[in-house]
Amino acid sequence: MTDTPLRIIETERTLLARFREWWSGETANPVKRVQFDRPLTPWLFILPQMAVVVIFFYWPSVQAVTSSFYIEDPFGFGSTFVGLENYQDALNSSEYMSTAAFTAFFCITVTALALGLGLLLAVKADKVIRGAETYKTLLISVYAIAPPVAGLIGMMFFDMHMGPFTQIAGWFGYELKVGINYWDTAIALITISVWKQIPYNFIFFLSGLQSVPVSVREAALIDTKSGWRRFKDVTLPLLAPTAFFLLIINITYTMFDTFPIIDVIVKDKPANNPMTLVYKVYLDGFKGNDIGGSSAQSVILMVVVALLTVLQFRFLERRVHYG
Amino acid sequence: MQKIKPLDHLILILGVLFLFVPVLMTLMSSTHGAVEIHSGGLYITPGSDGAATYAKVLTHRGGFTGDVTGLLMLTNSLIMGLGFAIGKIALSMMAAYALVYFRFRFATLLFWMIFATLLLPLEVRIMPSYQVMSTLGLLNTYTGLIVPLLASATGTFFFRQFFKSVPDELLEAARIDGAGPIKFFIDVLVPLSKTMMAAIFIIMFIYGWNQYLWPLLMTTDESFYTLMRGIKSILQVWVGSQIPDYNEAFALAVLAMVPPVAVVVIFQRMFIKGLTESDK
Amino acid sequence: MAHLSLKNVGKTYGGSNQAAVAGVDIEIADGEFIVLVGPSGCGKSTLLRMVAGLETVTDGEIRIGDRVVNQLDPAERDIAMVFQNYALYPHMSVRDNMAYGLKNRKTPKAEIEARVAEAARMLELGPYLDRKPRALSGGQRQRVAMGRAIVRQPAAFLFDEPLSNLDAKLRVTMRMEIRRLQKRLGTTSLYVTHDQLEAMTLADRLVVLNGGRVEQIGAPLEVYRKPASTFVAAFIGSPAMSLLDARFENGQVMVDGHALAPVGNAPGPVTLGLRAEDLRITSTGVPMRVDYVEELGAHRIVHGAIGDQPVAVVDNGGAALAETVHVLVDPAKLHLFETSTGRRMDTRIQAEAVPAQ
């Protein structure tokens, strides 16, 4: 279309302007109307954070990328540059692909269940008056439990000798073998991960619901008698930003923060157990001493996460602009 | 206005049962003996062996070298939680102050550099981070446990957001009152941020306390073990034993979850505010 | 105590090629109360903030007393400012709020106490000295903000719409109080508002701003009686001056084909300004359609139109009005503006007009 060249010029102009901003510190829209203009003081304030970020974030990140192009000698006698071989190995390995497939499945299931149940409970807790505070406190308290503790508790509940869930499955004639049977372990991992994440979603959905203005609720009450329609047509659209935010958070959670749960349940024994990509990075790197391969996997994950985060921020930015 | 249906309460009660009963059973089971649990399963009523189990877990030297007690792990977890929360608040508040209240060269670049840390969680760069730590000789130190975790932008963003919401006129009034950057920070901004600092402290304390993977890698010396690390080792000993020390594992789990849960329940309001307003 | 002088002051923001403020010249005598007035976006706040040192001055020169202050920090300018949202430090008590600036200036403790006590007495804040701002009402917070300015004993007070956050009744009370205090202290004051009534009642002299430029400077009545442009005419006074398209014919100013008053001659179309209180409803004169009537008790305002041009008339009668009435105006009270520029036309036309009758 005719506007294309114009848009390119516009982009170049913005890039130049941005570059000038970076260089000079002059911003077209400063955060504050009035700012301090001192050459040294801001550096004093920002230096500690920058030091930590550079040493403990950028250095390792760069190292991850570099070592992903090398194969480390298992006995520590130097390393060989192999280009993209580590990446090819990872992507061609059926084990890697099946782990990736499980990670995707795990992500979708846990996110869907944790979001759905969190929303359901939030909607109900928002509705009731009697006992609302008690429900809230009890539901929220689980948030603070560390994932490894959640894993430990879950392990007990799925224990083959005395776990209540194993017993319940037994009543239906099913022998639950967590840690031995692939899908049984998967069920345990999903249950524990969902259990741990519901409170987080609950908190956000509830606060989202409670920020719906009373006048809007009352207007909806006048407009329709059906509670479900009110929820579907009024409440849900207003919750959409919260839901999207939580979606990204939950995906990140299942990909990374479930590490301790998996570690507690699977206990370094991949044998015939499901695991996520992050856990495989850890196993290959620390247990398998395949530093190059592990780094290549790290970099692949980095790209995935970076994309997710960019998506999240683009969206958040929009939310800020359009209310 | 709206009618309350019994169904709503039923769903909530089921939710509470699903979420809270496991916690309760962990607590109760930890007061029963290992044999009792092995034969009778988990308990929802208190038993009589609680005192003995907790005394043992807290003071008995266990682990491989026989040096580590529950009390020591508790202390380490506390150091981890407090150190992380305080460090996080100090670093991120200062950085956010520089980014919001100063006009200086490279400010935008630095902002994006800090911002970019949100892109990659620690778990993704765990291997090279370990190597860097070992190069720096920080394995088995509190510095190594805490400081690398500070390399993320969450706190900085939180405070940046908060500082942006502070009315511009406050800085203008302070400048007319003759306050320079450091005076303004200490006299006005820090006292003004008290509530926010408390909220973020709670979130960060829990985050630090709950760390698992990083302590797992950073500490081989048992005197630096945190409770989370202890859970890992109790499970490693577990394999192969006739009747595992279920009760001790439960007691350890209770020790590990009581402080953060208590903090959340006690400061519920402040915690929710901090969590939802900081958007992570 | 000091005089204030702005010479050709201007402000252009980086990245913008349009000046937010341009070519402002004002000489303010010691103890004078000057009000900067204009619609939002006219640059009045920017100008005030440039005097305060919160915005850089890109053009011209600002003097406070005998010092050029362009490059000085706000704290070094010897000014005090009262903000629209008060900008009180929420975590400090009323006392500390007032004392903070003095402490930073290393004023002796006893002196600080004395000044705070004096300001508290003047503003009747004594009982609230140990309270936090959030425990005060809007009016009280406003007083604290005033107190903070007073204790500094500055060369000039700067007010940035200080009454906008108050309700209408309190605004009137505080307005009088500010004026009384300023008279008593004799401190040169620069006051920004968008409320023309506030401007009229407070000012020794008004500065009417529009689009970053000064439209008119003068005493309130002078500005009211002789607005320098249609902009000022429409902005100052309530109800607003009616502005009508008119032209001259045979020494008469004609509106909608009717001769309104004999004023002289000038070529081309003019804009005619009529204050509501200068028009009289009579049995003869120009016909005006009545649209609606606002009863205000003491008098009423009749809104209507001559031809299709809206006009407002103040009427003291109580009788019911016909659908069409006739209005007359004293030729000496007409305002004439060039239609093309909006500037007030030379008064000679009017002077010549009288003998021409």
Low-confidence ranges of chain B (pLDDT < 70): 1-4, 62-66, 238-242, 277-280
Is the CB of residue C64 less than 8 Å from the CB of residue C30? no
Count of domains for chain A: 2
Which structure tokens are listed for C284? 């003869």
CA C298 centroid distance within chain: 25
* B163-198: burial string, b at 16+ Cβ within 10 Å, e else: beebebbbbbbbbbbbbebeebbebbbeebbeebbe
Same domain for C216 and C263: no
List phi, psi (to 5°) of C247: -150, 170
Q: Residue B186: what pLDDT?
A: 94
With beta carbons under 8 A apart, name residues in chain B contacting C89: 170, 173-174, 188, 192
A267, β-bridge pairs:
none
pLDDT (mean) for C38-64: 92
List phi, psi (to 5°) of B177: -80, 5
Is the CB of residue A116 less than 8 Å from the CB of residue A201? no
**Given C14, C54, C55, which is nearest A26 (Cβ)?**
C14
- Decide if pLDDT at C54 tops 70: yes
d(CA B173, CA C81): 7
Is the CB of residue B117 less than 8 Å from the CB of residue B151? yes
- Decide if pLDDT at A315 tops 80: no
User: Which of helix, strand or coil describes residue C198?
Assistant: helix
B206 Cβ contact partners less than 8 Å away, ≥ 6 residues apart: A144, B81, B260, B263, B264
Same domain for C170 and C50: yes
Same domain for C256 and C190: no
Same domain for C165 and C130: yes
Q: Per-residue DSSP letters for B98-149? A: HHHHB--TTHHHHHHHHHGGGGS-GGGGHHHHHHHHHHTT-TTSHHHHHGGG
Same domain for C98 and C189: yes
Same domain for C289 and C219: no
B102, β-bridge pairs:
A36
CA distances from B182 to A34, A45, B97, C73 (A): 16, 10, 10, 16
Is the CB of residue B68 less than 8 Å from the CB of residue B62? yes
- Helix residue ranges per DSSP H, chain B: 6-29, 34-40, 50-59, 70-101, 107-115, 126-135, 142-146, 154-165, 168-176, 181-184, 190-192, 194-209, 213-218, 227-238, 246-266, 268-277
Query: In this complex, do B150 and A256 lie within 8 Å of one another by their Cβ atoms?
Result: no
Same domain for C19 and C160: yes
What is the pLDDT confidence band of residue A226, given thresholds at 50, 70 and 90? Answer: confident
Chain C residue with minimum CA distance to B172: C54
- Of C179, C203, C234, which residue constitutes the final position of a domain? C234
Q: How far is A27 from chain C (nearest CA, A)?
A: 9
Same domain for C256 and C176: no
Count of domains for chain C: 2
Q: Residue C195: what pLDDT?
A: 92
Q: Residue B219: what pLDDT?
A: 87
Four-way CATH pick for B71-277: 1.10.3720.10, 1.10.3470.10, 2.100.10.30, 1.10.1270.20 = 1.10.3720.10
Is the CB of residue A276 less than 8 Å from the CB of residue A102? yes
Considering B266-275, C154-163, C258-267, the range whose residues carry the highest mean pLDDT is C154-163
Q: Please, what is the angle between helix B107-115 and helix A41-53, to 10°?
A: 30
- Whether residue A53 is contained in a domain is answered as no
Same domain for A99 and A23: no
What is the pLDDT confidence band of residue A27, given thresholds at 50, 70 and 90? Answer: low
Chain A residue with minimum CA distance to C49: A34
Q: Residue A322: what pLDDT?
A: 38
With beta carbons under 8 A apart, name residues in chain C contacting A34: 54-55
- Of C187, C213, C234, which residue constitutes the final position of a domain? C234
Same domain for A268 and A170: yes
**Given A52, A128, A144, which is nearest B261 (Cβ)?**
A144
Residue tagged 């929802």 (tokens): B44
Same domain for C300 and C197: no
- Chains within contact range of chain C (3+ C-beta pairs < 8 Å): A, B
What's the CA dihedral at A57, A62, A65, A71 to 10 degrees?
Answer: -110
Which structure tokens are listed for B41? 């399963």
Same domain for A287 and A188: yes
Query: In this complex, do A24 and B120 lie within 8 Å of one another by their Cβ atoms?
Result: no
Percentage of residues of chain A with pLDDT beyond 90: 25
Q: How many CA atoms lie within 13 A of A39 on its CB side?
A: 0
User: In which domain, by residue range, is A10 found?
Assistant: 1-33
Name the residue with higher pLDDT: C145 or B4. C145
d(CA C71, CA C338): 41
d(CA C81, CA B172): 9
- Supply the DSSP symbol for A179: T
Q: Which residues of C touch A (CB under 8 A)?
A: 14-15, 54-55
Query: In this complex, do B173 and C81 lie within 8 Å of one another by their Cβ atoms?
Result: yes
Is the CB of residue A277 less than 8 Å from the CB of residue A255? yes
List phi, psi (to 5°) of C343: -80, 150
- Decide if pLDDT at C350 tops 80: no
With beta carbons under 8 A apart, name residues in chain A contacting B185: 45
A182 Cβ contact partners less than 8 Å away, ≥ 6 residues apart: A272, A273, A274
Q: Residue C136: what pLDDT?
A: 93
User: Which of helix, strand or coil describes residue C32?
Assistant: coil
B60 Cβ contact partners less than 8 Å away, ≥ 6 residues apart: B69, B70
Query: In this complex, do A67 and B128 lie within 8 Å of one another by their Cβ atoms?
Result: yes
What is the pLDDT confidence band of residue A6, given thresholds at 50, 70 and 90? Answer: very low
Q: Residue C349: what pLDDT?
A: 54
Q: Residue B278: what pLDDT?
A: 54
- Decide if pLDDT at A10 tops 80: no
Q: Residue C353: what pLDDT?
A: 42
- Whether residue A49 is contained in a domain is answered as no
d(CA B22, CA B255): 15
pLDDT (mean) for C37-65: 92
Same domain for C212 and C266: no
Chain A residue with minimum CA distance to B118: A309
- Of C204, C234, C264, which residue constitutes the final position of a domain? C234
* Residue B192 touches chain C, beta carbons under 8 Å: yes
- Decide if pLDDT at C53 tops 60: yes
Which structure tokens are listed for C214? 């000064």
Q: Residue A33: what pLDDT?
A: 77
Same domain for A98 and A29: no
Q: How far is B199 from chain C (nearest CA, A)?
A: 18
Please write the tens of the pLDDT for every residue from A160-192.
877 888 888 888 888 888 878 889 899 999 999
What's the CA dihedral at C130, C132, C133, C136 to 10 degrees?
Answer: -70
Q: Where are the domains of chain B?
A: 71-277
Q: Residue A21: what pLDDT?
A: 55
d(CA A249, CA C303): 61
Same domain for C39 and C160: yes
Q: How many CA atoms lie within 13 A of C35 on its CB side?
A: 27
Query: In this complex, do A156 and B104 lie within 8 Å of one another by their Cβ atoms?
Result: no
What is the pTM assigned to this prediction?
0.84
pLDDT (mean) for C224-231: 93
Same domain for C248 and C183: no
- Decide if pLDDT at C357 tops 80: no
Question: Rounded to the nearest 5 degrees, what angle is found at the Cα of A167, between the Cα atoms of A165 and A170?
Answer: 110
d(CA B276, CA A208): 9
CB atoms within 10 A of CB B261: 20
Is the CB of residue B113 less than 8 Å from the CB of residue B151? no
Q: Which helix (H) or strand (E) holds C62?
A: strand C59-64
What is the overall mean pLDDT for chain A? 82
Is the CB of residue B278 less than 8 Å from the CB of residue A207? no
Query: In this complex, do A278 and B228 lie within 8 Å of one another by their Cβ atoms?
Result: no
**Given A26, A28, A34, which is nearest C54 (Cβ)?**
A34
pLDDT (mean) for C101-118: 93
- Decide if pLDDT at A200 tops 50: yes
d(CA C209, CA B275): 47
**Given A28, A33, A34, which is nearest C15 (Cβ)?**
A28
CA A21 centroid distance within chain: 32
Residue type, C105: R
Same domain for A172 and A94: yes
Same domain for A220 and A145: yes
Residue type, C40: S
Going by DSSP bridges, is the β-strand pair C300-306/C309-315 parallel, antiparallel, or unpaired?
A: antiparallel
Residue type, A305: V
Phi-psi region of B69 (alpha: psi -120 to 50; beta: other; left: phi over 0): beta
Interface confidence (ipTM) of the complex: 0.87
d(CA B224, CA A64): 27
User: In which domain, by residue range, is C34 found?
Assistant: 4-234
We report the CATH number of the domain holding residue C329 as 2.40.50.140
Percentage of residues of chain C with pLDDT beyond 70: 96
Please write the tens of the pLDDT for every residue from A285-299.
888 878 888 888 888
What is the pLDDT confidence band of residue C140, given thresholds at 50, 70 and 90? Answer: very high
Q: Residue C145: what pLDDT?
A: 94
pLDDT (mean) for C201-228: 93
d(CA A273, CA C192): 73
Please write the tens of the pLDDT for every residue from A265-289.
887 676 778 989 999 988 888 888 7
A15 Cβ contact partners less than 8 Å away, ≥ 6 residues apart: none
Name the residue with higher pLDDT: B68 or A55. A55
C108 preceded by a cis bond (ω within 30 of 0):
no
What is the pLDDT confidence band of residue A76, given thresholds at 50, 70 and 90? Answer: low
d(CA A255, CA A272): 20
With beta carbons under 8 A apart, name residues in chain C contacting B194: 91
We report the CATH number of the domain holding residue C147 as 3.40.50.300
Query: In this complex, do C54 and A26 lie within 8 Å of one another by their Cβ atoms?
Result: no
Query: In this complex, do C54 and A33 lie within 8 Å of one another by their Cβ atoms?
Result: yes
